[in-house]
Amino acid sequence: MSASSVDLETLRHSTAHLMAAAVCELFPGAEYGIGPSIEDGFYYDFLLPGGTHFSDEDLPAIEARMHEIQGRHSQYQRSELARAEALLEFRRLGQRFKVDLIERIPEGEVISCYRTGDFFDLCRGPHVPETGAIPAFKLLHTAGAYWHGDETQPMLQRIYGTAWNSQAELDLYLERLEMARKRDHRRLGRELDLFSLSDELGGGLVLWHPNGATVRTVIEDHWRREHRRRGYQLVYTPHVAREQLWETSGHLGFFADEMYGPMEVEGERYRIKPMSCPFHILIFSSRRRSYRELPMRLAELASVYRFQRSGTLHGLLRVRGFTQDDAHIFCAPDQAEAEVAGVLDMVQEMMARFGFNQVEIDLSTKPAKAAGQDEMWELAEAALERAIQTRGLDFKLNPGEGAFYGPKIDVHIRDAMGRRWQCATIQFDFNEPERFGLEFIGADGLAHRPMMVHRTLLGSMERFFGVLLEHYGGALPLWLSPVQVQLITVSDDQLDYALGVAARLEQAGFRAEVPDRPGERMQAKIRDGELAKVPYLGVIGKREVEAGTVNLRSTREGEQVVLGIDQLIERLRLEAAQS
């Protein structure tokens, strides 16, 4: 037990060393890669000798050895080595990954190492003073990981663990993990009968059940309304197109790996669409465009299909068929900044409406290999950055991480397990307008090339719905709930009255239902309503029928009030507008 709290990053990194020390003792000859601290914990990558692997069952033994080493109170001893010395030492130890790392360290930089008992590691530090100074840790699971994340490199085995300043904090964290598992969207999807995935259907393809479809419709209706309000024009485009179109757009050149194979129709090859941009471009170029028509904002809820490797599929968050809330903005260069700003405002508004007040913004700029002229890149990057800054938003700059065809802003939100998922993206494209020879006639009577922006706000209906479910733990706000009110009768005698109330609520625009379970006890129906996370349960017995009221139980606040039907409608209206 340490009284003073150690910086968590240091603590976790030191725990990673402790774990590596234990692994090296238990598996002599193990090679080790990197072992950083990460959010909520740490990991270390290993390659065991003789092609052996450890599994989750080895973790308790490793943990036990870690505790044993802690008992020895080994110091974390720092030393600085000359480059040649370090290379020699790690070659002697047979640690090829460390040798690789040293070779990547720029000349002239200090090479520091840490020794903990017999364990010797290349490491920048800092560390806790000794192994006993780690109050609480736990190993969590193993995973495969390529060296340098490169699939041409050997695959190492990674052990993930977590470490905290006290047992209580560790317990709290483990509890948090358990809570997160409970609000996993895949579990909620089944429990609330929202969607399913089926082996018979095929991987990464989603079946939206009636409840899920209801929520999606509400989201889509809201989305369309907002887009019309902000000067977007809604369009529809097909699901397939001639292969030639994908040649022209360049997708077959740089995106073919993610596209499904061709199908032949009357000797002509067609492809299922992985993106909508070429279609929207064809709409733009279907006739001569004037500068007066710019900016032209074309939006569509577009279902696309992309091949994803089987190991990457994940519930609704990573699928093969999904519906993007896609839009393409064609504008003049001097309109670019205002357009980006408009999109950013829209992202924030949209996210806030769905309860996401914290988003993470990344700005990715020009990579080494890039299409388009430098001044276009500069203009676009400046537009993106200024739009972020004038809104007072934080962002992370990723230099050189942009696509080859343009810089971009990505917006991430997090799932229940803390994993980051990209949703909104605002992406300039200097490539496609060029390839399709897009132009508009300017005030000067001459043809000019428009700038083009791809953007999505929610990302895809599937992913957004998944993250949304986890965000609310399945208890969606009133306006999104598939069933907003259930009317529960004390006995079957009140069924007619309940159906009448339901009809009035439906008429007022709410989704209300009367559970069809003759003879079932009220308590059972209440329990079902609670488990289904229906926001309001209107209990109706003799008293309510006589008084023309409903005894409203809020499943969220646990509150209970008697309301007349008009009052009930008024209350629902108010809440639906706000939440």
Query: What positions carry a catalytic annotation?
Result: 277, 306, 324, 326, 328, 408, 454
CB nearer RNA, residue 115 or residue 571? 571
Q: Residue 523, interface with RNA (CB under 7 A)? A: yes
| Least Cβ distance, residue 344 to RNA (angstroms) | 15
Measured between alpha carbons, how far is 233 from 222 in angstroms, rounded to an integer?
15
Sequence-separated (6 or more) residues with CB below 8 Å from residue 475 = 533, 535, 555, 556
Measured between alpha carbons, how far is 162 from 8 in angstroms, rounded to an integer?
10
The two tokens of residue 547 are: 């008084």
Q: Rule CB under 7 A: which of 169-188 touch RNA?
A: 184, 186
* Among 85, 171, 268, 530, interactor with RNA by CB under 7 A: 530
| Least Cβ distance, residue 83 to RNA (angstroms) | 27
Measured between alpha carbons, how far is 44 from 116 in angstroms, rounded to an integer?
15
Q: What is the DSSP letter of 312?
A: G
Q: Residue 300, interface with RNA (CB under 7 A)? A: no
Total of chain residues touching RNA, rule CB under 7 A: 75
Residue reference for tokens 């939206």: 208
Measured between alpha carbons, how far is 419 from 412 in angstroms, rounded to an integer?
10
Which alpha helices (H) appear in 437-564, and where do they start and end?
461-471, 495-507, 522-531, 542-547
| Least Cβ distance, residue 197 to RNA (angstroms) | 6
Q: Of the listed pieces 17-25, 233-241, 547-555, 563-571, which binds RNA according to CB under 7 A?
A: 547-555
| Least Cβ distance, residue 551 to RNA (angstroms) | 3
Q: Of the listed pieces 61-69, 265-273, 333-341, 524-532, which binds RNA according to CB under 7 A?
A: 524-532
Nearest to 107 by CA among 130, 126, 123, 87: 87
Q: Residue 560, interface with RNA (CB under 7 A)? A: yes
Q: Residue 565, interface with RNA (CB under 7 A)? A: no
CB 405 within 8 A of CB 429: yes
Q: Rule CB under 7 A: which of 482-521 touch RNA?
A: 490-493, 518-521
CB nearer RNA, residue 294 or residue 453? 453
Site string for RNA, 368-407 (x = CB under 7 A): ----------------------------------------
∠ Cα 452 458 462 (to 5°): 120
Before 36, cis peptide (omega within 30)? no
Site string for RNA, 66-105 (x = CB under 7 A): ----------------------------------------
Specify whether the backbone of 92 is left (phi greater than 0), alpha (psi in -120 to 50) or beta: alpha
Q: Rule CB under 7 A: which of 404-423 touch RNA?
A: 410, 417, 419, 421-423
* Among 81, 145, 174, 441, interactor with RNA by CB under 7 A: 145
| Least Cβ distance, residue 108 to RNA (angstroms) | 28
Exposure string for 428-439, b = 16+ CB within 10 A, e = fewer: bbbbbbebbebb
Site string for RNA, 320-349 (x = CB under 7 A): x-x-x-------------------------
Q: Rule CB under 7 A: which of 230-269 touch RNA?
A: 258
Q: Of the listed pieces 77-85, 135-143, 223-231, 375-383, which binds RNA according to CB under 7 A?
A: 135-143
CB nearer RNA, residue 6 or residue 478? 478
The two tokens of residue 393 are: 């938003």
Q: Residue 314, interface with RNA (CB under 7 A)? A: yes
| Least Cβ distance, residue 431 to RNA (angstroms) | 14
CB nearer RNA, residue 180 or residue 218? 180
* Secondary structure class of 544 (helix, strand, coil): helix
DSSP strands (E only) in 430-515: 440-441, 447-448, 451-460, 485-489, 512-513
Q: At what angle do helices 83-92 and 96-104 cross, to 10 degrees?
A: 160
Contacts 24+ apart (CB under 8 A), 309-315: 310/203, 313/203, 313/204, 315/184, 315/185, 315/186, 315/189, 315/197, 315/466
Burial (CB < 10 A; 0-12, 13-18, 19+), residue 565, is middle
Q: Rule CB under 7 A: which of 40-69 touch RNA?
A: 53, 55-57
Using only C-alpha atoms, what is the Rg of the chain?
Answer: 29
Q: Rule CB under 7 A: which of 436-465 touch RNA?
A: 456, 459-460, 462-463
Q: Residue 481, interface with RNA (CB under 7 A)? A: no
* DSSP string over 377-406: HHHHHHHHHHHHHHTT---EEETT-SBTTB
* Among 447, 527, 548, 566, interactor with RNA by CB under 7 A: 527
* Among 67, 72, 91, 190, interactor with RNA by CB under 7 A: 190
Q: Of the listed pieces 83-91, 139-147, 163-171, 438-446, which binds RNA according to CB under 7 A?
A: 139-147
CB nearer RNA, residue 57 or residue 334? 57
Q: Of the listed pieces 301-309, 331-339, 342-350, 428-436, which binds RNA according to CB under 7 A?
A: 301-309
Burial (CB < 10 A; 0-12, 13-18, 19+), residue 226, is middle
